[in-house]
Amino acid sequence: MARVLVIGGDAAGMSAAASLRRRLPEAYEVVVLERGEWTSYSACGIPYWIAGEVEGPDDLVARTPEEHRKNGVDLRTGTEAVSIDLEAREVEAKDLASGEVERIAFDALVIATGAEPLRPDLPGIDGEGILGVQSIDDGQRVLDALEHDPQQVVVVGSGYVGLEMAEAFVVRGISTTVVEKAPVPLSIIEPSLGEKVAEAMRGRGIELRTGAGVEGFELDDDGHVRGVVVDGEAMPADLVVLGLGVRARSDLAADAGLPTGVKGGIVTDARQRVAGVDRIWAAGDCVETRDRTTDLPVHLPLGTHANKQGMVVADDVVATLLEVPNRLTFPGVVQTAITKFCALEISRTGLGEKQATDAAFDPVVVTIQTSDRAGYMPESGEMTVLLVADRGSRRMLGLQVVGTENAGLRVDAAATAITAGMTVDDVVMLDLAYAPPFASVWSPIQVAARAAVKALDA
């Protein structure tokens, strides 16, 4: 009997495993090792569970371990892959409850170990009450800490997770401070838009400390955090949440000699095959991928990509094992993302100005203010749209949006345009939906594109 072994039971791993079980003959085993007890869940929903907008962790689960097992997947929760032996084609696995270790042979191996929150090597970092937020268990630890009624929460970092966790604490009425090393929050967007995010955060009562570096953490006699040291000053804190981003959880692969790249991401080709080895694939937050505009490697951990890459893995494993044609590849990303802080929506796609310059483009940047629907309609909201174009080719390179409700998803049309390599002139002529309750005569991205055309023609 042939065996496909999958390490990791969340988006990429279970997407691959479920598809493999459907497409492979019964003579093939599909075995999944998952060190936790949850599978196929939305890590992106954890901040909203903590905020109370989602009732419980079960609501974040797309498919339970029991459901996967009923579908024929040999899913082993509470089991951690300890090492990979490439020569023997075996994985050493440890049952975390009993401590027993076994070696599991494989004919094909899929690595989908995800990502892990960054925990800088700072004094006191291992103290109680200093938490990351990546898994359902992490979310439960935060909720358990909130049962002790913390008076002061400090969020370190203001990326997507930091911003969303700050909102969760604000919704709960907890005094919150956000510490960010950069001059403005959410550095993935341009500073002028970051200022709007900062204004919204302060408007909701958050103490925002930008341009400030965390130097360590003060602990009480019981080892619990009591303060965060910022630029030589100790700020009181009963609970600290780290929102400093993530790195690929790829140590298992690297220890086996597999190649890694950006932020530790495992290096794969467009079929998610690990470079330089036979019948080993990797997918999800543990891999690096390719930016479609620059053709440069990037690490972009998002569930959307993980699920697609899992599908690609399954397709190529089936093609390899059954010797049938391959159908799918993963073409890369244009770095599209969206989040919100309370009523403020923030989204971006493509390249920012510095990214464009670093990639040898000659960027032209325009910023416009517009409404989310016809201005005469009730409850019309405002948004700021920033567009980046290349001077020589007139190609649209990036778009960022900050605005009220219904502003954020405007970025999807821009992502499509960037993927297609469209110029700003092309975007102006797109046939986009219009009716007064939904948009003005000119879509917000077309208003920005028209401004870019004027700037390029000046």
SS3 readout for 191-217 = HHHHHHHHHHHHHCCCEEEECCCEEEE
Cα dist. 278→95, 171, 178, 228 in Å? 27, 50, 46, 48
Provide the greatest CA pair distance for the chain: 72
The model's pLDDT over 378-437, given as tens digits with 9 standing for 90+, comes to 878 899 999 999 999 999 999 999 999 889 999 999 999 999 999 999 999 999 999 998
Q: Indicate which residues carry an active-site annotation.
A: 44
* DSSP 8-state assignment for residue 265: P
Q: Which two tokens stand for residue 339?
A: 């989040």
**pLDDT tier at 211, thresholds 50, 70, 90:** very high
pLDDT value at 44 more than 80: yes
The model's pLDDT over 338-363, given as tens digits with 9 standing for 90+, comes to 999 999 999 999 999 999 999 999 99
Percent of the chain with pLDDT over 90: 94
Q: Is 368 within 8 Å of 384 (Cβ atoms)?
A: yes
Q: Is 350 within 8 Å of 415 (Cβ atoms)?
A: yes
* DSSP 8-state assignment for residue 86: T
- Residue 130: phi, psi to the nearest 5? -115, 105
10 Å CB burial of residue 41 (0-12, 13-18, 19+) is buried
- The H or E element that residue 13 is part of is helix 11-23
- Sequence-ordered list of residues with C-beta below 8 angstroms from that of 83, at least 6 positions apart, any chain: 91, 92, 252, 255, 256
Q: How many CA atoms lie within 13 A of 230 on its CB side?
A: 21
How many helices and strands in the chain, by DSSP H and E? 12, 25
- The H or E element that residue 162 is part of is helix 160-171
**pLDDT tier at 90, thresholds 50, 70, 90:** very high
**pLDDT tier at 252, thresholds 50, 70, 90:** very high
Instruction: Supply the pTM of this predicted model.
Output: 0.94
Round to whole Å and give the CA distance between 11 and 283: 9
Q: How many CA atoms lie within 13 A of 294 on its CB side?
A: 20
Handedness of CA 421, 425, 427, 429 (dihedral sign): negative
The reply to whether CATH 3.50.50.60 applies to domain 2-44+59-115+246-322 is: yes
Span 40-53, average pLDDT: 95
Other C-beta atoms lying within 10 Å of the C-beta of residue 437:
10
Instruction: Please report the pLDDT score of residue 374 as a whole number.
Output: 82
234 in helix, strand or coil?
strand
Give ranges for CATH 3.50.50.60 in the chain: 2-44+59-115+246-322, 119-242, 337-457
The model's pLDDT over 179-210, given as tens digits with 9 standing for 90+, comes to 999 999 999 999 999 999 999 999 999 999 99
Round to whole Å and give the CA distance between 347 and 342: 14
Round to whole Å and give the CA distance between 2 and 106: 7
Span 267-290, average pLDDT: 97
Instruction: Specify the CATH number for 337-457; select among 3.30.70.560, 3.40.50.10540, 3.50.50.60, 3.30.360.10.
Output: 3.50.50.60
Give the residue among 311, 304, 330 at the shortest CA–CA distance from 412.
Answer: 304
CA 79 to chain centre: 25
Q: Is 142 within 8 Å of 133 (Cβ atoms)?
A: yes
Cα dist. 143→16, 138, 146, 178, 205 in Å? 31, 9, 5, 19, 21
- Residue 197 amino acid letter: V
Residue 99, sorted as left (phi over 0), alpha (psi -120 to 50) or beta, turns out to be left
pLDDT value at 305 more than 90: yes
The model's pLDDT over 144-184, given as tens digits with 9 standing for 90+, comes to 999 999 999 999 999 999 999 999 999 999 999 999 999 99
Round to whole Å and give the CA distance between 419 and 342: 30
pLDDT value at 306 more than 80: yes
Q: Which two tokens stand for residue 417?
A: 């345009």
69 in helix, strand or coil?
helix
Under CATH, to which class is 119-242 assigned?
Answer: alpha beta
Query: Which residue, chain included where needed, has tokens 């690595």?
Result: 111
Residue 109, sorted as left (phi over 0), alpha (psi -120 to 50) or beta, turns out to be beta
- Residue 346 amino acid letter: I
Round to whole Å and give the CA distance between 392 and 146: 54
